[in-house]
């Protein structure tokens, strides 16, 4: 039931001829452990040569005193190597607080930060989640830009991530 509503919502959003862009659905599974901490999550676009085309979102503990929350950014391992270690956080419109388990939707418009103008070509959307006292998981969704028509690509994580989908809007 819940899923149907989500899907219907998705159609509503996708239907009107909005400007080109990308929407990303990220489901954080509810994990039943005593010492649950919300995961650090990074979402980015990379090219076939692993270079980063856009840093879309980084969720980390932004509220800790003295920027202590940045201490574990390196545990979003792949993102740290590809982009994180060369960035100064916080970044407006990219970094934000960690999120609760459940479904989250992020929307990015072509031409606007942080997506910007994407040159035509092949890309991968990468979603990486890393949880304190827990595990880490990376999901990768390849796509070509620009899309000729509205396209949805999906992947499902096994532990730290639930369903992840990318909606491409021409």
Partner 1 sequence: MIKHRIALAALTATLAAPLAQAHETWLVPSSTVLSSNGYVTVDAAVSNQVFHFNYRPLSVGQSLSILAADGSAVQAENLVQGQLRSVFDVKLDAPGTYRIAVANAAVMASWKENGQPKRMRGTQAEIAEKVPAGATDLVLRENATRIETFVTVGSPTELKPVGEGLEMVPVTHPNDLYAGEEVSFAFHANGQVAGQLKVAIVEGGTRYRDQLDKVELLPDEQGRIRHTFARPGLYYLNAVMTGKSPSNPDMERRMAYTATLEVLPQ
Q: Which is nearer to partner 1, 71 or 156 (CB)?
A: 71
Site for partner 1 contains 72 (CB under 8 A): yes
Q: Degrees (nearest 5) of the Cα angle 118, 123, 161?
A: 115
Please report, as residue ranges, which positions from 48 to 67 form the binding site for partner 1 (by CB under 8 A): 67
Q: Which is nearer to partner 1, 77 or 104 (CB)?
A: 77
Instruction: Give the span between the Cα atoms of 141 and 86, in whole angstroms.
Output: 23
Q: Closest distance between partner 1 and the C-beta of residue 135, in Å? A: 12
First to last CA, the chain: 29
Tell me, rounded to whole angstroms, the distance of Cα 102 from its chain centroid: 14
Contact (CB, 8 A) for 122 and 91: no
By CB under 8 A, name the one of 81, 135, 142, 154 that touches partner 1.
81
Instruction: Give the span between the Cα atoms of 10 and 166, in whole angstroms.
Output: 11
Q: Closest distance between partner 1 and the C-beta of residue 107, in Å? A: 28
By CB under 8 A, name the one of 32, 49, 86, 117 that touches partner 1.
86
Specify burial of residue 160 (Cβ count, 10 A radius: 0-12, 13-18, 19+).
buried
Q: Closest distance between partner 1 and the C-beta of residue 67, in Å? A: 6
| Cis? peptide before 114, omega within 30° of 0 | yes
Q: Which is nearer to partner 1, 79 or 108 (CB)?
A: 79
Options 13-21, 75-83, 124-132, 147-155: segment touching partner 1 (CB under 8 A): 75-83
Instruction: Give the span between the Cα atoms of 109 and 93, in whole angstroms.
Output: 12
Options 69-77, 110-118, 119-127, 149-157: segment touching partner 1 (CB under 8 A): 69-77
Binding region for partner 1 (CB under 8 A): 67-68, 70-74, 77-78, 80-81, 84-86
């Amino acid at each position: 039931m819940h899923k149907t509503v989500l899907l219907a919502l998705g159609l509503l959003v996708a239907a009107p001829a909005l400007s080109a862009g990308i929407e990303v659905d990220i489901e954080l599974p509810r994990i039943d452990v005593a010492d649950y901490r919300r995961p650090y999550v990074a979402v980015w676009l990379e090219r076939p040569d692993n270079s980063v085309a856009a840093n879309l979102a980084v969720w980390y503990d932004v509220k800790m005193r003295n920027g202590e929350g940045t201490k574990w950014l390196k545990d979003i391992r792949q993102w740290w190597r590809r982009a994180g270690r060369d960035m100064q956080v916080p970044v407006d419109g990219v970094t934000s607080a960690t999120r609760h388990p459940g479904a989250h939707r992020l929307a990015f418009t072509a031409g606007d930060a942080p997506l910007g103008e994407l040159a035509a070509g092949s890309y991968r959307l990468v979603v990486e989640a890393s949880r304190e006292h827990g595990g880490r998981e990376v999901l990768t969704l390849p796509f070509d830009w620009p899309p000729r028509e509205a396209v949805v690509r999906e992947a499902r994580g096994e532990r730290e991530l639930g369903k992840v989908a990318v909606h491409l809007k021409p």
